[in-house]
Amino acid sequence: MDKDSVGIVETKFFNIDEPFILESGKSLEKITVAYETYGELNNEKNNAILVCHALTGDAHAAGWHVGDKKPGWWEIVIGPGKVLDTEKYFIICSNVLGGCKGTTGPSSINPLTGEEYGLDFPVITIKDMVDVQKVLVDSFGINQLYAVVGGSMGGMQVLQWAVSYPEMMKKAIPIATTARSSPQQIAFNEVGRQSIFSDPNWNKGNYYGTGKIPKNGLSVARMIAHITYLSDESMYIKFGRDLQDKDEISYDFSLDFQVESYLHHQGESFVKRFDANSYLYITKAVDLFDLAIDNSVIEGFRDVQCKLEVISVDSDWLYPTEQSTEIVAALNANDVEVSFSEIKSNFGHDAFLLEKGQLNYLLSKFLSDNVVADLMTTEVTTIREEDSVKKAATLMLEKNVTHLPVVTDDNKLIGILTSWDLSKSIATNSDNLIDIMTTTVKFCHSTDSIENISKMMRKYDISCLPVVDENFVVEGLITTDQISNRLS
């Protein structure tokens, strides 16, 4: 096991016991969510990053389960010293609603019948998946995620987070994805679903407990999908027209080419780990995904507030770069701070799971703390000018702070009070804040760069700065400790 791995991990489970209303209007009585976490949530609870998995992924994003032959699906970016540094961030990854790896889905027991849901499970959407994740995140007492990141269907979840909960994250990174599924993408999913429907063992979804599963139909569905994850170039590099275990063409319908054998292997291994009904429901959720309002993606992104880094793959023909640039254009039209990068790879769509070097570089560049908003504390204890010194001392003691912004009734900054000022009140025998507080206070804005703020704090020997908006309303505080801890 590598030293930069999070090591042995276990999947945990969170229960939502009250009825959960879905986007369709239907409800689920109880939901269980399978999830894993890596790293530690800090005292401020502002270092959490939610990782969203792709179509057939799960909560096991990093580390090793006991007995596993391979680590979690995004081991290349999660772990100590990696871009999603578990010594710096608290990483959360959950299996989506409708899944079959511990989160409630069609193979789960319906509490109303005592039997598997099967097709009684309601149709779900990407928004439903995100709404369930929101309840899980809330259970940690997290008011705002530092970032949400994911590729493919995980990227859809990232975009849905930015739309549904615009104040819930500082940064978002959708990778190799789209704002709305295209007719071609829907078509591929429908062919996969039809292959499952046509398998006699599917039995209209009622195959649980029969000893028979629609493995042929599910295997073909996976083979179709897997073709879209690769590129023509990657298949030429990997297989060419090489034969499989033979020296010449057989001139029958046996497997002649290596690429045929590879696809069969992918299909056969997939049926061992995934439920056919889950595949139906999750692909349908992908098909239904459309963030446009009145056919306008610009209108769909009107409420987005976080910063975004949109990443595409140049050889991805399932979610091509044009769909990522459509996202960027729509965000720009809404004056959202967005940047765009394209991974250069011959791996096709799967590059977001494989291109370790480019992913670590692009993600680290975007996640680095480059402005005050990335680090500042937003829960600020303030005091009024007319309050007493005793009240100030009590607040500092109770809240364990050394700086109190002095504000007006509408929360506008007019001064600052430090623990040193309280010492001055004893020497001057004063009980009035106005006599001891600093009124020529230094301040900064949330958009100021960390580098410039650090220089100013060193120049004036300041350990804490109030963060204000254009109307001088206090938005937060930033300290030298926050900057030095994060930089280290």
Pick from 145, 141, 271: nearest CA to 207: 271
- Annotated active-site residue 226? The verdict is no
Encoded tokens for 7:
């090591």
Encoded tokens for 225:
């999908």
- Give Cβ neighbours of residue 307 (< 8 Å, ≥ 6 apart): 170, 171, 172, 336, 337, 338, 366
Encoded tokens for 375:
């680090």
Rounded CA separation 407/208 (Å): 64
DSSP string for residues in 435-456: HHSBSS---B-TTSBHHHHHHH
List the catalytic residue out of 53, 181, 324, 349: 349
Pick from 27, 33, 28, 44: nearest CA to 486: 44
Task: For the beta carbon of residue 252, count every other beta carbon within 10 angstroms.
Answer: 6
List the catalytic residue out of 94, 108, 152, 324: 152
List the catalytic residue out of 128, 199, 287, 316: 316
Rounded CA separation 159/261 (Å): 36
- Annotated active-site residue 53? The verdict is no
Q: Cα angle at 398 between 393 and 404, to 5 degrees? A: 55
Encoded tokens for 368:
């680095």
- Annotated active-site residue 296? The verdict is no
Task: For the beta carbon of residue 231, count every other beta carbon within 10 angstroms.
Answer: 22
Task: Please give the positions annotated as active site.
Answer: 152, 316, 349
